Structure 1
Amino acid sequence: MPSSSPSSAPTWDPSQYLRHAGHRTRPFLDLLARIPDLPGVPGAAPRIADLGCGAGNVTALLADRWPTARITGFDNSPEMLARATEEYGGPTPGGGTLDFRPGDAAHWTPAEPYDLIVSNAALQWVPNHQDSFTAWTDALTPGGAFAFQVPGNFTAPSHTLLAELCATPRWRDRLNARSVGVLTPGDYLTRLMDLGCETDVWETTYLQLLPGEDPVLDWVKGTALRPVLTALADDPAAAEEFTTAYRDLLRTAYPKGPHGTVFPFRRLFAVARKGARTAG
């Protein structure tokens, strides 16, 4: 999300979010490829939690990797949970289960041991999410993993222009700012290693080629622009005015080329494996 955004909790639109499902899923597949085999107990199904599961489309990919796993996706959006449950909830082809429950990553505390806790493009919405790492890694079984990816593009024009527009005299009284973001890769590495985890942290910039008219605006309508659209939901004229002004800024920052619009997107990844010993 932008470094400055409206303070109200955004209302999510699963269909809008999934319009760019291919590009949004690719980082999760890259993360999934680096997660080690889970420890488990012979004959027992791995236990997996997905924090900020959204529409459930990437949560379902966990069942491809661990077919017998009991997987629970947690999210605080009723719209996303309804879509996820309808599309993916129930028994999985490999004999596992996939269910979705209300849960806010800002306050979620594991109620049972997990072999894997994973989060895909969600923790950037949670202030001080790093303060929960101790509780989450404590809940891992020995050899279990905590893995996540978050956007690292908060200094990109898509986000800085949005923040600047929110702060203009026209909008600053209606779009109250809050500061939410992510740590540096080095900070994540240090914090997770301090917890006694074997840790792999990396970053990747995807040069996403988006088709169509105003594709960057279409992209952010599913994510960074959601708080603005929520705050202005009762005033369609104002929402249209803001969106048009933002669209014009994005057209300049991300001009359409002969093959589409290039939208560079940096993401940060971390995989932390809990050892048999505990930190300290």
Structure 2
Amino acid sequence: MYSAPSSASTAPTWDPQQYLRHSGHRTRPFLDLLSRIPRLPSVATPARIADLGCGPGNVTVQLADRWPDAHITGFDLSPDMLERAEKDWAGTTAGGGWLDFRPADAAHWTPDEPYDLIVSNAALQWVPNHPESFAPWVDALKPGGTFAFQVPGNFTAPSHALLGELCDMPQWRARLDGEGRRFVHILQPADYLLRLTGLGCETEVWETTYSQLLTGEDPVLDWVKGTALRPVLTALEGDEEATQAFLTQYRDLLRAAYPPGPHGTVFPFRRIFAVATKPA
């Protein structure tokens, strides 16, 4: 999770509580990514790990479970997310390592020390031109270190396509122009593979579509309130009438696109993964 400011609009405000409402589904891709990260190069000393776009820290702490004595730093732009992460997770870990959190914009973050692992979970889709940062990030890895990330790949799905179309309607265009499409900054898996391999890394790239069963009233709307809808909600903040009007229209579109079944609402969710290891 991550938000990056742009010259055209204000950075979205984030709601950690809303984001964590679907933490089980949101954490699963990170665990799948984590399982494919190889052994880190530091052996005699604790590993140094950066989590870029750490959000509320609920996945950052998973790194401490895998590398219990590591020094792990979570970076994020959102003060609300960092406050929640620091409250819940900062300090000495159960394995004797250290977990801390710092403000940083992933669009401009440059490592100031060598890292064994730089990882990013569902963050880089918010960062225009993020592949241009791959070279300095890989350069900052220790020999044998790894850069790993996963991003959503469902931006042509109804949940996101309908959001963009609604923002482009005459009723909303002047106020929300571009807000529904601010996060579409990903490449196709083959493009990530070629870029990372071109940096000399041994690279594995894959994609997975999770068929998630969401429950509750209007569960897809509740899902996107934690992520893709944040720029729109930020732009409409303070205007309750407009906010409710937009949410009602979007809700009706989602109900038609994702009808509930007898056991809940199926929400397919495509994810793109990459694990790039620097030569030792």
Asked if these proteins are the same fold (TM beyond 0.5), I'd say yes
Query: What SS does the corresponding residue of 2:19 show, helix, strand or coil?
Result: helix
Q: What are the superposed Cα offsets for residues 50-98 of structure 1, whole Å, 9 maximum, x if unpaired?
A: 0000000000000000000000000000000000000000000101000
Q: Find out whether 1:227 has 2:231 as its counterpart.
A: yes
Q: Which residue of 2 aligns with 1:267?
A: 271
Whether the 8 Å CA contact 1:175–1:228 is kept in 2: the answer is yes
Separation in structure 2 between the aligned mates of residue 55 and residue 237 of structure 1, nearest angstrom: 30
Which 5+ residue runs of structure 2 have no aligned equivalent? Answer: none
- Summarize the alignment of residues 46-65 of structure 1 with structure 2, pairs less than 5 Å apart: 46-65=47-66
- CA–CA distance in structure 2, aligned partners of residues 85 and 128 of structure 1: 29
Percent identical pairs in the alignment equals 74
Equivalent residues, number: 272
Distance 2:174 2:69 in 1: 51
Structure 1 length-normalised TM: 0.95
- The letter for the 2-side match of 1:7 is S
1:127-138 aligned within 5 A = 127-138=128-139
Q: TM-score, normalised by structure 2?
A: 0.95
AA aligned to 1:198 is E
8 Å Cα contact 1:154-1:181 kept in structure 2 = no
- Could you tell me which residue of structure 2 aligns to residue 148 of structure 1? 149
Aligned amino acid, residue 34 of structure 1 = R
Amino acid of the residue matched to residue 128 of structure 1? N
Does residue 27 of structure 2 align to residue 25 of structure 1? yes
Alignment of 1:40-189 (within 5 A): 40-42=42-44, 44-177=45-178, 179=182, 180-189=184-193
CA–CA separation in structure 2 for the residues paired with 1:41 and 1:218: 43
User: Secondary structure of the residue that 2:204 maps to in structure 1?
Assistant: strand
Q: Counterpart amino acid of 1:160? A: A
Partner deviation per Cα, 1:97-130 (whole Å, 9 max, x = no partner): 0000000100000000000000000000000000
Q: Deviations over 1:145-169 (max 9, x none)?
A: 0000000000000000000000000
Secondary structure, in 3 states, of the residue corresponding to 2:171? coil
Supply the distance in 1 between the matched residues of 2:151 and 2:270 (Cα, whole angstroms). 9
Q: Deviations over 1:253-273 (max 9, x none)?
A: 000001100000000000000
| Matched residue type, 2:52 | L
Task: Write out the 4+ residue segments of structure 1 that deviate beyond 6 Å after TM superposition.
Answer: none
Residue by residue, what CA displacement relative to the aligned partner does 1:216-273 show, whole Å, maximum 9, x if unpaired? Answer: 0000000000000000002111011000000000000000001100000000000000
Q: Give the counterpart letter for 1:98 in structure 2.
A: L
Instruction: Measure the CA separation in 2 of the matches of 1:252 and 1:10.
Output: 27
In the TM superposition, residue 176 of structure 1 has moved relative to its aligned partner by: 2.3
The Cα RMSD (Å) is: 1.3
Quote the Cα distance in structure 1 between the aligned partners of 2:208 and 2:252.
28
Q: Larger relative contact order (C-alpha < 8 A, sep ≥ 6)?
A: 1
Question: Equivalent residue of 1:212, what SS?
Answer: coil
Match for 1:96: what amino acid? G
Q: Secondary structure at the match of 1:174?
A: helix
One-letter code of the match for 2:93?
Answer: T
Q: What secondary structure sits across from 2:174 in the alignment?
A: coil
